[in-house]
Chain A
Amino acid sequence: MWQPELETITRDELRMLQEERFQRSWRHIWADAPAQTKLLHDAGAERGDIRSLDDVHKLPFTDKSVFTEHYPFGLFAVPPEAVVRLHSTSGTTSKPSMGGYTYTDMVHWKDLVARVCVMAGVTKRDTAHIAFGFGMFTGGFGLNYGLEHMGVRVLPMGGGQTEKQLMMMRDMGSTVLVATPSYALYLSEAVREAGIKEDLMLRVGLFGGEGHTQEMAEQIERNLGIIATSNYGLCELGGPGISGECLLKTGMHIAEDHYFCEIINPETGAVLPEGETGELVVTPLTREALPLIRYRTKDITKITTEPCKCGRTHARMSPTLGRSDDMLIIRGVNVYPSQIESVLIRQEHIGPHYMLVVRREGVMDTLEVQVELTDGAVLDSFHLLEQIQNNIREQIRNILGLTVKVTLVAPQTVERFMGKAKRIKDERGM
């Protein structure tokens, strides 16, 4: 463990530490973050209302729209000169969310990422190949800092240039691969096609930046002969390091000494009891530049505080089922792309990449699932090809209760992603 005294703290002591840190963060917001204070005030919350973390559920949520509204620095709680680092989301749909770090925030960040890496079995004898994009995305730099902090040799490859990635991975003897799961899958296919799996020393994957299914992780594990682990973070909350899987892979341990987490019903906002699935809401406890109250992550997951055999006492969150933003509503059925992915990845004869196309035909929404036919062996008969389509359609119907159109397309025609995958095309014009 990287910080055993904090990672194995008893639940009672953890609660006391959280209380103490929350009170400090609460005072910091009221003293130094006028825009956030106004939001609280407008929602009817006052400084004295909150006696302990038990009262947090009374406070209003913050979400991405608050970042957009106060772009770029309106939410910050320190003077500009105290901010030593800025990161941001990609901002494809609106103004990006700006994330900021003070020197102390950076120190915490390195430790939190180092924890996640150690949990995944990384040691300082490893060589880590980082295929996350660098730049404003928190992933590349975050993992770089954490790994370097541990004494791991780091290759800051960035995304793209697949051939060069493979060459460096082989020639540098990389043992750890850091990437988004969709890019890791892409790289793992390239490794398989190049037939160089046996030349690689890779043993562990640290995957984050987007959710993925168990099946997808297993496919990457098979292609590369590694153990795939997930970790989780959000730019608005300080990037990677919020949670990560230990080698038992029974959920991602949340750094609860830095983040207080709740699960809510995304429709009503009501806090759900432990073990129920809902949207993750996070209140950071130690952030100086950007303290926040009840940030809605849009990620759907569940949390357990059951003890983990690894000895860490921090609660575990399940791999995210998807973002509530990515959730499609098709003919009244809630659809997460991950549910469809879990069906596709088990199928033979097709490739792992897919695209979901939503259309409106008349008053009906339709969902088309495009997958690549990669196996020539089934070309001999239409019957087999139709069987593939029917199997996929049936299995999706079993899971979602929704009939979709399955289209087989030629290999290498579904878009590949170097960073976060965008697997939905919504052509409904809404």
Chain B
Amino acid sequence: MADPKIKINIEEDKKGKKARGAMASPGDTYFQKYITLRKHNLSTAWKKMKISKGCYLFLAPYAILFTVFFVFPVVASIFFSFTYYNVLEPPRFIGLNNYISLLLEDDIFLIGVKNTLIIALITGPLGYIMSFLFAWLINELPRWVRSVAVVVFYAPSIAGNCYVIFSVFFRGDAYGYVNAALMNLGIIDNPIYWFTDPRYMLPICMIVILWMSLGTGFLSFVAGLQGVDSSQFEAGYMDGIKNRWQELWYITLPNMKPMLMFGAVMTITTSFGVADVTMQLCGFPSTDYAARTIVAHLIDYGSQRFEMGYACAIATILFLMMILCNKAIQSLLRRVGT
């Protein structure tokens, strides 16, 4: 078993490399050098692996389960996306047909993509900023007030399906609170069908999603802000930081970068995976498919029409969108505080 953070006699290895480099005849091509180097690296890795057998034993149970239930499904869904598969018959390879019909023929999918992008691009950044903003604002409160505030802000995201209560507020008849209030104020004459009128479905869903958006990322921000070294702030005052906004940009945010990354990952998960809220509030299928999201489309084809190949193609497109989005956000976050 290896010692913690083992470094296998790297000194010696370096010497060996040099010696080999000197011995190599001038006729050696770059390619051969590359091969020898690779071989050398591989043998070191193999040595390391043999030494750290115990590590693999410790990791094995998790790694196996993780591979079976998280890595393999991703690979499998990419594989199935090129086939026609309806569970009953064995999958039949049909090439890119699923993707072609998804992008060119399936109007509803394109509506789903549009809605998901609208939801993700609005609630994602807004929810993310809200998470940080509130974490930052409650950071300076006394301890017990902060604890209460954390519970208040975090509770909606873990309150199960408590969001169905919004269907009471936004009920389509005059009995709904919002309709009643707007009619009393004289803004509208007739009640608005919030969850059946395509004009209002998405905005209302986005309000509900925003209400639930202070989740794990928010907790990470609260905890991270507590850990920022206060001597940095004092140094900042000496250097002439005038107000809290400058302090935020030059000291707090750069210190929070790792948490910001984590929060971004969590936000991507929730904002691209939207389906529960829209399906519960607007119905499934919703009027004119105006509240259809990619995941709702996936559920439709996967669990109701049993066109698994098609559903897997949808899932694969969603994967790609999430990963691209993550890459974009990471490169954005690198610029923070510079």
Q: Determine if chain A interacts with chain B.
A: no
Chain A contacts to B: CB under 8 angstroms: none
Chain B contacts to A: CB under 8 angstroms: none
